[in-house]
Amino acid sequence: MSKSLAAPALVLLILLVFGTALIPFAHAQPGVTATVNVGTQPYGVAYDSAKGEVYVANFGDGTVSVISDTTNKLIANVSVPGTPADVAYDPVMGELFVSDSSVNKVYVISDTTNKVTAVVTVGNDPRGVVYDGTHDVVFVSTSSPSGSDEGSVQAISDSSNAVVATVGVPSFATGIAYDWAKGELFVSNGPSTVSVVSASSDKLVTSVTVGSDPRGITYDPANGDVYVADDGAQTVTVISDSTNAVVTTVKVGPNPFYSTYDPVLGEVIVGIYQGDFIAQIADTNNTLVGNITVGGYNDGIAYDQAKNEVFVSNFGINTVSVVSLSASSTGTATTSTASSSATSTTPSTTATSSPTTSSTQTTSSIPITTTTSQTPSTTPTVSSTSTTSASSSSGGGGVPIFPYQFAVAAVFTVVLAACYLLIRRRTIAGIGSHGTPSSES
């Protein structure tokens, strides 16, 4: 190669090295990777780890949508009467428990057939549901009849699909989370309290004062804290499960409504209903580290540990956003409009039971971490129903940027330049000792 071509070639090579080093930056931030069209006004969301599927309770049309996390496409719809609100997954039985706030029922859906296999009558206005793998029961939060300020938590045996215990809690109950390390339930109540309930004795342990209008609750097994979304205070209250006292509050944005835990990043992901984004809280220092824009009026949320993704229901635009929490998001969202509509109807048999004795089942001790979303006390007013394109956006800090890429590129370029200069010096020295070569054509 002539000296006239050597310099441009070196410049081109340096640009290629820097370009390659910068590629990870285009993928370093989390964001929406797909958008799935579901039923009307989607609320609660649950992840089925055995099937790799996500179940979405559609509050507005009486259906439960089933999404494959492999294809991010709708694969089935399960019809239920009323207004399904929240949903929880039972890995032992391979079933989903769906609360219906309008008819005071909990539907049991088989994840094998995607059909309703039982209906359980519960208390008034059931909201949050959560699975307790230690006692093989599903807990559902309910409110007492209209006009009462009291609520309750009811335990449903997953083997008999019958109510086996009822625990009274102050004020109406909405959000609920199970702390398997302590064997306790944390239930959001009324204007500003969280009830702590023993799952073994089915008794109220204590109440903790939090921010106004507490809703979604998530248990973090890594630090033993419980995170409460204060819908009316724009904050998340952090409660220690060892002291049952407030540790701190984190400012997140308008109307935080639900949350889930990401064990890979060590973050609590909180949905901001009026902000149309999800907030990321680091559980090591309980600080806000990032925001990710999702769809419109996001409500329910579930974490998919197999994909390190969260599925977020968008109440306002009837979609579910698939959000990558790893460094693999390209920022380009795809929309699924799968035509699959396998529908199953509710069976006519209704399993009803109302004993108040405590459950004594202890056949399983699986440490399941379950999170939940909750229906608001009133159906939100949606000001816009126009279709919104889902795009990737980040407030920074969710997934670490890789600053060492610049350093590696710089060092490699310096080494490359040094090699070039060394070769050039030797070439010139060789030319000087053997004479000037003939010109190349």
- Tell me if 66 is assigned to some domain: yes
In angstroms, rounded to a whole number, what is the distance separating the alpha carbons of residues 187 and 197?
A: 8
Question: Which residues constitute the domain of residue 300?
Answer: 29-344
The tokens of 22 are what?
């910068």
Lowest mean pLDDT among 22-26, 86-90, 99-103, 395-399: 395-399
The reply to whether 47 and 12 lie within a common domain is no
Name the residue with higher pLDDT: 436 or 129.
129
Closest of 224, 189, 217, 215 to residue 204, by C-alpha: 189
According to the model, what pLDDT value does residue 373 have? 40
330 and 421, same domain (yes or no):
no
Tell whether 397 is covered by a domain: no
Q: How far is it, in rounded angstroms, from Cα 312 to Cα 334?
A: 15
What is the percent of the chain with per-residue pLDDT over 70, rounded to a whole number?
67
Q: Which position has the higher pLDDT, 17 or 370?
A: 17
Q: Which of 344, 371, 392 is the last residue of a domain?
A: 344
Please check whether residues 95 and 151 belong to one and the same domain.
Answer: yes
Share of the chain above pLDDT 90, in %: 58
Convert the pLDDT of each residue in 267-322 to its tens digit: 999 999 888 899 999 999 999 999 999 887 888 999 999 999 999 999 989 999 99
Tell me how far CA of residue 174 lies from CA of 217, 257, 441, in angstroms: 9, 11, 83
Residues 67 and 36 in one domain: yes
Could you say which of 295, 315, 344 is where a domain stops? 344
Domain match, 11 and 116 both: no
In a domain, 388, yes or no: no
Tell me, yes or no, whether 409 and 332 share the same domain.
no
Helix (H) or strand (E) holding 3: helix 3-22
pTM, two decimals, is 0.73
- Gap between the terminal Cα atoms of the chain: 11
Question: In this structure, what CATH number is given to the domain that contains residue 211?
Answer: 2.130.10.10
The number of folded domains in the chain is 2
Pick 363 or 5 by higher pLDDT: 5
Q: Residue 286 has what pLDDT?
A: 97
Residues 147 and 211 in one domain: yes
For residue 250, is it within any domain? yes
**Does the residue 375 lie in any domain?**
no
| 80 shares its domain with 209 | yes
Residues 147, 14 share a domain: no
Asked whether residue 329 is assigned to any structural domain, the reply reads yes
Residue 391 located in a structural domain: no
**Residue-level pLDDT at 91:** 97
Do the beta carbons of residue 188 and residue 197 sit within 8 Å? no
